[in-house]
């Protein structure tokens, strides 16, 4: 996995029970300003905050493409504001882009943590008849199984009203065992868009 977006490594070890065959992404700790529910957005400025410009461009382009697929307009900070490497955007630049593109929301995503997690993998649950079941649970009780290390990438995404600057929606995502950065981008963006659609902020197509 490229370290572009995930440079902050937290050496935290957590013991959990979770299958680790492939990457999975989930949203947790989401919050929503209920006064915005049902008020569909029409155009969003997408900003990824990272010190790796390649990662920023890739994440923003994925987000913009999937937002456009829902039927709304979207523009990345890279194309809409033309931010150069290792330079912080000014508020004036963002507001000028909002005005130029007629955007009603600004979406900001950043990395909040990268954890190495020890995961317990139980023995397969395949059995026939009473003895097969007994053999399976005996193995479970007596520690048949193994531990492996999983990587958990945590991102936070905040969506703001471009006019009032009030936060509309916020969510934190966890991606388990991503094979590539691209996998993180696609899975996180899909989860975020799905949640925004559920809250009637984006149309469903």
For 87-136, the pLDDT digits (tens) are 789 999 999 999 999 999 999 999 999 888 776 666 666 667 788 878 77
Query: Is residue 204 in a domain?
Result: no
- Residue 6 maps to a domain: no
In a domain, 32, yes or no: yes
- Residue 53 belongs to some domain of the structure: yes
The number of distinct structural domains making up the chain is 1
Domain CATH number, residue 128: 3.40.50.10610
Average pLDDT over residues 49-69: 94
| Of 12 and 31, more confident | 31
Look at residue 82 and tell me if it is in a domain: yes
173 is a domain residue? yes
Task: Give a yes or no: residue 3 inside a domain.
Answer: no
Reduced 3-state DSSP string for the chain: CCCCCCCCCECCCCEEECCCCCCEEEEEEEEECHHHCCCCCCEEEEEEECCCHHHHHHHHHHHHHHHHHCCCEEEEHHHHCCCCCCCCCCHHHHHHHHHHHCCCEEEEEEEEEEEEEEEEEECCCCCCHHHHHHHHHHHHHCCCEEEEEEEEEEEEEEEEECCCCCEEEEEEEEEECCCCHHHHHHHHHHHHHHHHHHCCCCCCC
Each residue's pLDDT tens digit, 152-190: 999 999 999 999 999 999 999 999 888 888 999 999 999
pTM for this entry? 0.76
Structural domain including 160 reads: 15-198
Does the residue 5 lie in any domain?
no
């Amino acid at each position: 996995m490229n370290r572009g977006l995930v440079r902050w490594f937290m050496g935290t070890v957590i013991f959990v029970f979770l299958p680790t065959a492939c990457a999975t992404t989930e949203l947790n700790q989401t919050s929503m300003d209920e006064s915005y529910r049902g008020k569909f957005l029409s155009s969003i400025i997408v900003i990824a905050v990272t010190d790796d410009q390649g990662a920023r461009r890739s994440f923003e382009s994925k987000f913009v493409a999937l937002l456009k697929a829902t039927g709304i307009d979207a523009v990345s900070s890279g194309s809409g504001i033309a931010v150069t490497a290792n330079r912080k955007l000014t508020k004036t630049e963002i507001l000028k882009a909002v005005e130029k593109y007629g955007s009603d929301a600004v979406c900001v995503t950043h990395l909040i943590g990268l954890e190495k997690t020890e995961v317990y993998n139980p023995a397969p649950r395949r059995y026939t008849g009473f003895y097969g079941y007994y053999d399976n649970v005996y193995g479970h009780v007596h520690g048949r199984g193994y531990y492996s290390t999983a990587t958990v990438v945590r991102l936070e995404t905040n969506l703001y009203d471009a006019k009032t600057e009030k936060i509309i929606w916020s969510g934190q995502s966890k991606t388990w065992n991503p094979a590539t950065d691209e996998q993180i981008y696609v899975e996180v963006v899909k989860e975020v868009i799905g949640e925004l659609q559920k809250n009637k902020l984006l149309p469903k197509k």
